[in-house]
Structure 1
Amino acid sequence: MKKSKLLVSIAACSVLLLSACGENSQATKNETSQTERDLASSPYTKTEFLMGTVVTLKIYDKGKEDVLDKGFDRVRDLADKIDVNDEQKRTSEIDKVNAKSGIAPVKVDDDIFYLVKEGIKYSKQTGGTKDITIGPITSLWHIGFPDARKPSQNEIDERLPLINYKNVELDEQNKTIYLEKKGMELDLGGIAKGFIADEVGKVFKENGVTTSIIDLGGNILLQGESPKGGDWNVGIQDPFSPRNTILGKLPEQDKSIVTSGIYERYLEVDGKKYHHLFDPKTGYPFDNDIAGVSIISKKSITGDGLSSAAFSKGIKEGLQFIESHKGVEAIFVSKDKKVYITSGLKGKFELTSDEFKMGN
């Protein structure tokens, strides 16, 4: 198994792990912590292309190399249940729910029932600006795939009435999901990677892993302290520059960092770029003042759900929205290169690029 250096670059360029932080005054504590955890000098690393993205798992605990395969087994297991992008097979549990829209409820396993229930929760929290039934629109544009196109207004208008999370019926007792209107489609892209990252984290902990990096195409989950003790040094990507160019950094440990932005997946038509984050009310990508937003939270599904939810609201309302969630912080980057942070990051986040300014 190939080992890599501590410097970690993230495939979806949402965040970067620059280095391990550690104060000199904590040297003795850190050395003890590292001895107790019995960490390798560099991580066991494995990378695969799954769910349309690069998935990289890193484990720093000595003798835990085989746990990487267990982590990937869990990723593949969940991806098979969730993935709706395989046009040939159409065999995922979400595919089956979508195929039976307006016809009959579909029994699903506990993982999928929980995921859809969480998706509805975040849809409710945003008042519908984020909606897990956006599938008819995302499949119409299909941004990020070879057949992506800008649909006609008539096509969009025909599908907008199908989008309403309130028309998803969940049966807790029988674990069934029913989409009440024919043609409705669930799209769990806004929370699926976060859920999968959390599940891989559970697998790692159950197998005695104390220090790891779980990277699902930019959804980052840090487990434990850095190998040197103390915090990881997390860099936030400059959304206007090539990958691995950061605008700022902050120290974190045992946290998830998830970013939503307009700069990774988009379709360009007649000189105009259309990104992949859609407004359920218009059927077009959100057009507001945000270039990117990063959410720092304990669980990755929280970061996933709230990142796209915050993006849907713009910077001012997005900041207020995140401030209302205990234990969650956010970094917003505006299209005019200003950076806005929630109150819990003041004195913690450090702007490192001269091209950006802190907003009020």
Structure 2
Amino acid sequence: MKKIIIVATLSLSLFSLAACGKGNSAVKDTRNLLKTPIDKDVTTMGTFVKVTVYDKGKEAAVEKSLKIPVKYNNLTTVNQSGSQIDKINQNAGIQPVKVDAGVYELIKAGYNYSRKNLGYDITIGSLTSLWNIGMDNARKPSQSEIDHVLPLISYTYIKFDDKAKSVYLTQKGIRMDLGSIVKGFVAMKMVESLKKDGVTTGIVNLGSSSIYVMGHSPRGPENPWSIGIKDPNDPTANQMGILQASNQHVNTSGIYERYLEVDGHKYSHILNPKTGYPFDNDIASITLLISGKDKTNGDGLSTMIYAMGTKKGYEYIEKMKNVQAVFVDKDNKVYITPGLKDKFQLTEKKNFKIGNIADLK
């Protein structure tokens, strides 16, 4: 008899609103901030979306920003009928579908990641709907079911019309799924909205796997925010490390974030579009720190990096200008890209050790 367990966990947490700075800041903070922040949330996109703002008089700005994830959930979900992505999928091989400008931008971003051919493809929807990991009806599909949908996965089936803002899937049965990139996209849209409305200091938190910290912590300009990185083996335990960030997007992907357990084997939610099965490599989790000025979608990038494994993923990140990363492998070794040397602290030293990337083959 098969034993099936569905687990969803959170990998990042705002460890402290105070930063790791020592004592009072030497630089005077001229911001007039609230001691008790504006704190509002909404449940959507299958997660808990929370906005925390320290600027005075920004209640309306916070409420406005929280409408963005609700909007994009309605436009992009594939778990209920009526969304624009569902309409595109239903019209595959039939006709193009005109979409919202933001949805068009999001699909283009997913397409650009897909055409790198590095283990990521937004037309993976027919496969994700077979496994449904993270849903109540999750299951391990048969090999024949997987073999049937694999030919339906290719970004080359997507055709764009920039003038009409329409998207066309050229073959019947093709299904897009933007679940792997929509949270990162929405986080950036929310931050853009908040900044436009004058917010300087705050947090946008999409289910703790995608966090954007605005400005510095409320303690002052020399005090960054402190973000705890959870133990990927036991996300309910204390954090295994602390990452410092200011005006940056922090994103994580990992094998234990969501998984399906069948007959004692754990299947990650991150599926390989070439094999039809979850990726099986040495990464337990990867956390990216992306500059606030960079428009890189952290969700899409972290999924693509996860597909590469630790060694190749690390080398890929090293070539990027505004992105740093913390890799945790299945042997509990932690690998930190050079730009995080003074921004990451390993706190759980009993079970984890800092590794040397040169030791990996």
* TM-score normalised by the chain length of structure 2: 0.91
2:11 corresponds in structure 1 to 13
Matched, 1:66 2:57: no
In structure 2, distance between residues paired with 1:261 and 1:286:
11
SS in 2 for 1:312: helix
Matched, 1:161 2:151: yes
Counting aligned pairs with the same residue, the percent is: 46
1:271 corresponds in structure 2 to 264
Q: Would you say the 8 A contact 2:41–2:66 is kept in 1?
A: no
Q: Which residue of 12, 31, 39 corresponds with 1:37?
A: 31
Matched, 1:348 2:346: no
1:121 corresponds in structure 2 to 112
Matched, 1:205 2:201: no
In structure 2, distance between residues paired with 1:300 and 1:147:
35
SS in 2 for 1:181: coil
Taking a change above 3 Å as real, the CA distance of residues 42 and 152 of structure 1, as seen in their structure-2 partners, is same
Q: Letter of the aligned partner of 1:68 in structure 2?
A: V
* Deviation (angstroms), 1:308: 0.5
* Deviation (angstroms), 1:14: 2.5
SS in 1 for 2:85: helix
In structure 1, distance between residues paired with 2:15 and 2:297:
20
Q: Letter of the aligned partner of 1:307 in structure 2?
A: S
Q: Would you say the 8 A contact 2:125–2:174 is kept in 1?
A: yes
Q: Would you say the 8 A contact 1:16–1:237 is kept in 2?
A: no
Q: Would you say the 8 A contact 1:277–1:308 is kept in 2?
A: yes
Unmatched 5+ stretches in structure 2: 1-8, 357-361
2:76 corresponds in structure 1 to 82
1:336 corresponds in structure 2 to 331
* Deviation (angstroms), 1:18: 2.7
Equivalent residues, number: 342
In structure 1, distance between residues paired with 2:278 and 2:123:
15
1:27 corresponds in structure 2 to 25
In structure 1, distance between residues paired with 2:282 and 2:13:
20
RMSD: 1.6
Taking a change above 3 Å as real, the CA distance of residues 185 and 73 of structure 1, as seen in their structure-2 partners, is same
Matched, 1:222 2:210: no
Q: Letter of the aligned partner of 2:57 in structure 1?
A: G
Q: Would you say the 8 A contact 1:201–1:214 is kept in 2?
A: yes
Q: Would you say the 8 A contact 1:38–1:61 is kept in 2?
A: yes
Matched, 1:97 2:93: no
Within a 5 Å distance, the mapping from 1:127-142 to structure 2 comes to 127-142=117-132
SS in 2 for 1:251: strand
* Deviation (angstroms), 1:253: 0.3
1:20-50 per-residue CA deviation (whole Å, 9 max, x = no partner) reads: 2264586241xx32xx321111211112211
Higher relative contact order (CA 8 A, sep 6+): 2
In structure 2, distance between residues paired with 1:251 and 1:38:
23
1:259 corresponds in structure 2 to 252
